[in-house]
Homo-oligomer: A and B are copies of this chain.
Amino acid sequence: MKATTRASLTTIQAQDPLPSWNDGKAKRSITAFVAKVTKEGSPDFVPVAERIATFDNDGTLWCEQPMPVQFYFALDRMQALAPQHPEWKDKEPFASLLKGDVKTALAGGDRALLELMTATHAGMTTVEFEQIVKDWIATAKYPKFQQPYTACVYQPMVKLLSYLRANGFKTFIVSAGGIEFMRAWVEKVYGIPPEQIVGSSIKTKFEMRDGKPVLVRLPELSFYDENDGKAIGINQHIGRRPIAAFGNSDGDREMLEYTKAGAGARLAMLVLHDDAAREYAYGPAQGLPDTEMGAFTPALYEQAKKDGWTVISMKDDWKPVFAFDP
């Protein structure tokens, strides 16, 4: 890049570091926060090494309705594996799922979900699983928009990730989603490397196959990265308290509380899905009933107001939502 080009880009950026965000309280809380923690000599200055920002994924960085993307992956995997499992025809949650009846299948609660997830996510090596996810995500499409899932990421949030990194932040994902499911595509889409992804995981087993070590994925939950698990996962994985955290549901509550409890300037934000025209309206926006997965409850909304967490209105705060026109 020529020096002159770089200089003019810098000028544009200085004028508006987040052009995909409408001017408003949300955008101003981000830019004001970044300005004060990056200003040397300011009482709120934070050294680069401590500029940790954590992001939930489903509903915060990409779509999660009517079901989280990984659930679509699990259903497609189940269909692919069904011929090898004739017993699934009489066994829940598979029997209902094979008939397309998600509601009955998930009436079995967490246990039914865990059964589906382990049956479709375990039994192969980590290298094989990565390839399965890569192959799937390269072709599968999000039903609502008929776009690749990786196109259904929120542009203003992708720009926010870049903006934070340009200001010395290390950006992490902290999601209830599967850590290895995310790692297969996240780096390309968000610019976040695998070592900065915290998620739920199943156990793995070290094994020698043809004289080479492999890690085999076992049908047993190792860690569930949701609610208190997010604070625990952050401590375990990052070992440093974030100074900024972004979520959209009750599952992110403890991450935001943990972030805000540190000394000095802190930023906690929640994405509110209030844009039925361009995506969905659910949670306090009332357009769609809360689901077990991805609930933004009225209680969370109240806590946000009380504790100074900034709510991002998809409708009012974001210029585009996606890179495509929804």
Contacts and interface: CB of A to CB of B under 8 A. Distances in A.
Given A213-B257, A213-B261, A239 B195 contact: yes
Interface in A154-197: 170, 179-180, 183, 187, 193-197
B213 A235 contact: no
A236 B201 contact: yes
How many residues of A sit at the interface, in one of the four size bands? 20 to 34
Contacts of A194: 238-240
A238 B196 CA distance: 8
Contacts of A215: 231-232, 235
A182 to B, nearest CB: 9
A206 interface: yes
Contact of A212 (B206, B228, B254, B261): B261
A22 interface: no
Contact of A195 (B196, B204, B206, B231): B196
Interface string A37-75: 000000000000100100000000000000000000000
Contacts of A205: 228, 232
A170 to B, nearest CB: 7
A51 to B, nearest CB: 11
A126 interface: yes
Contacts of A126: 235
Contacts of A170: 195
Contacts of A21: none
A238 B206 contact: no
Interface of A: 49, 52, 126, 170, 179-180, 183, 187, 193-197, 201, 204-206, 212-213, 215, 222, 228, 231-232, 235-240, 254, 257-258, 261
